Amino acid sequence: MAQTGYTPIQLYYSSTTTNQPSTANLANGELAINIADGKLFYKNSGGTLSTVYLNQASGSASGWLSSTDWTTFNNKQPAGTYVTSVTGTAPVVSSGGTTPAISMAAASGSTNGYLTSTDWTTFNNKQPAGSYLTAVTADSPLAGSGTSASHLSIPAATSSVNGYLTSTDWSTFNGKQAALVSGSNIKTVSGTSLLGSGDVGTIGVGYGGTGTATAFTTGSVVFAGASGVYTQNNANLFWDNTNNRLGIGTASPATTLAVAGVTTLAGAANTALNVTSNGGYQKRAIYVLSGATSSAGGIYITGQNASAGNSAAYEAVGQRSDANGVSAFAGNVLLGHLRTDAAISTAGAFLGKIGFGGNPTGTALSNILYSAQIGSVSESGWSSSSAMPTALVFSTGSTGIDVNTSLTEFGSERMRITSAGYVGINTASPVNLLTVNGVGQFNGNIGLNTSTPGNGLSGYILEVQPGNGQSAGGIRVGNYNVTSSTVSFIESFGARNDANGTFYGKFGASVSRQDGTAIQSGAFIGCYAFGAQYGTNTAYTAANLLYPAAIYGVAESAFTASNAMSTAIVFATGSTGNALTSVNVAYGTERFRIDSSGNALVTGVGGLGYGTGSGGAVTQGTSRTTGVTLNKTNGAITLVSAAGSASYQTFTVTNLTVAATDTIIINQKSGTDKYIILVTNIAAGSFSVTFATTGGTTTEQPVFNFAVIKAVTA
């Protein structure tokens, strides 16, 4: 504060951190001060700005000492009062110095050190000296050397060696027969011991006999009949010992096991029938042939009283003892069609089918009906082993049919896979790898990957064509349950394993005239529309999804050749929505156009400029030559309050959005005086504003608006 009666000396100053005066604002010998930074500035004899400033002292620079550093240094230990070195004597080890590392090793048989808890427990459990055995001796069959370290042993007993009885010998001895005593453990027949002599007559089954004097014939399989008497029935149970064949229901078995009649198999555990074959009939382990020429053979498998985790099953497993993966050694379920009068000669012949059904009413086998199947059919007449075109057919329905119904399909055909690998859904004649006749819906992801499409356009993975020449084809991608973290989208990308940049993702919309006429000028040749569901309509239908804006491709002239297809991109917006299925309608009004020459044209009533969020504002401090910082492409600069001057003044605008090649437009927004404004020194990150009034001297804060127009020199 100045002494009373004296005028204080006030320097040219700034209270904004890092601000410093320009040399143009300093006279020789004049001082300026930044009262926020504590720095003095003056213009030296060379005309450049110099700074008078005392730095804070640090480990690499002299200067003033802060109170924090003073406290730190004051709390240091005085010299000569601290330990300078620590050493150790074995078993203690020290690295020495003022920061020693002191350690001790664990004691061992060769190292002095500390006793670990593990060793302490071991030593504590040792037997006290003088209280342990010093010698052990033994009498036969035990054996010992008589020293404290010896082990007692005993051999296993044999016919010549005394010793211990093994468990094996115990079982052998325990299973020996007791002494034979007639009438006690020796049975007698009519009071006569079986070990005696003489004819005792027929021996009963209970005593190891057959219970009959009848002689059995060759091939008889003997079984216990009435009253337990052994008997035979060769017509129903016969063994062909010459060919090693068993006949059930026949005395002339033609295979290893021949069964004549209905057979029911009910096994224990998990398997009812286990068949092992080294070839069998025609390499079949089981061969079923109907008993009459007019009947069809069949196998009936049923699981009685099946629980929730069990069911009847037919399982075929190919078993090998090596790693051979050839398909011939896999499990096979084979269904075939054999004509005994001629080869298969027509298309549509069912070759085999797997039916699916159940019992809709009663519980008997006759009540089982079938309403769906997987079958195979011939696609033409067969002429050789390499000319057997066959398709797989998947059929479903709601009407059950008995399995014995002749020439019947269970259900109606829904899908077919042809011999060429084409899949048809709701069509028996697919023309591509996948042909769908009707509307399809996919609720999951669809992956498409091919290099050789079917009959579609070359190079296209997916082709959508209308069902007839009068309908338009379309694809809809939708998510019925969109949340804040899910969206519907279509993404196209090109993937390569090199640096070639021509294989990027593409998405095209085009038009083709089928009447032989070229596309004419003004024709819309593609459209990407933007819209939404309006109002309270909740139904997800084409009628409720309307589009008020779009991006179009428009022909600028008739397309007469591949190098004469001038096309413009048109951007249209509006407030009235139209459905995508509408014909010859516009989605919004044209607002902007990029023509084939690259010109960007505003074609609507709107303007071209920056939008909300791109601009900013800043107010100048200290003086009319003080620089400002505003990192925006457009905005307003409010000058410091000062009197206007017809002399030009300059300040710098720091703006990181500016490049040296850009164009800056600046004009006066407000102020009583009229200002002449010039932009100079455009550089990367800044430009200078030079201004003067036309003669006015009003003290005010005029506002200058500016905008950056990006530009390049190449």
CA torsion through residues 181, 186, 191, 195, sign = negative
pLDDT at 605: 86
pLDDT at 532: 82
pLDDT at 137: 73
Furthest CA-CA distance within the chain: 168
pLDDT at 401: 86
- In this structure, the strands spanning 102-104 and 92-94 are antiparallel
What tens digit of pLDDT does each residue of 106-125 get? 888 888 888 889 988 888 88
Strand partners, 569: 553, 594
CA 668 distance to own-chain centroid = 60
Name residues whose C-beta falls within 8 Å of residue 135's C-beta, 6 or more positions apart in sequence. Answer: 146, 147, 148
Ranges of the chain whose pLDDT falls below 50 = 281, 293-294, 450-458, 469-470
* Number of Cα atoms under 13 Å in the Cβ half of residue 694: 7
Name residues whose C-beta falls within 8 Å of residue 618's C-beta, 6 or more positions apart in sequence. Answer: 628, 629, 630, 635, 636, 637, 638
The residues spanned by each domain of the chain are 12-52, 346-359+366-381+388-436, 524-602, 615-709
pLDDT at 485: 61
Strand spans (E) along 382-437: 390-396, 412-417, 423-425, 434-436
pLDDT at 478: 61
Domain at 615-709, CATH class: mainly beta
* CA–CA separation, 21 and 521 (whole Å): 64
Strand partners, 352: 376
pTM: 0.44
- In this structure, the strands spanning 31-34 and 545-555 are unpaired
Classified as helix, coil or strand, 174 is helix
Name residues whose C-beta falls within 8 Å of residue 445's C-beta, 6 or more positions apart in sequence. Answer: none
Name residues whose C-beta falls within 8 Å of residue 353's C-beta, 6 or more positions apart in sequence. Answer: 335, 373, 374, 375, 376, 409, 410
Cβ pair 677, 692 in contact under 8 A: no
pLDDT at 338: 75
What tens digit of pLDDT does each residue of 414-459 get? 999 999 999 999 999 998 888 888 877 766 656 655 444 444 444 5
What tens digit of pLDDT does each residue of 310-359 get? 556 666 666 666 666 555 556 667 777 777 788 888 888 888 888 888 88
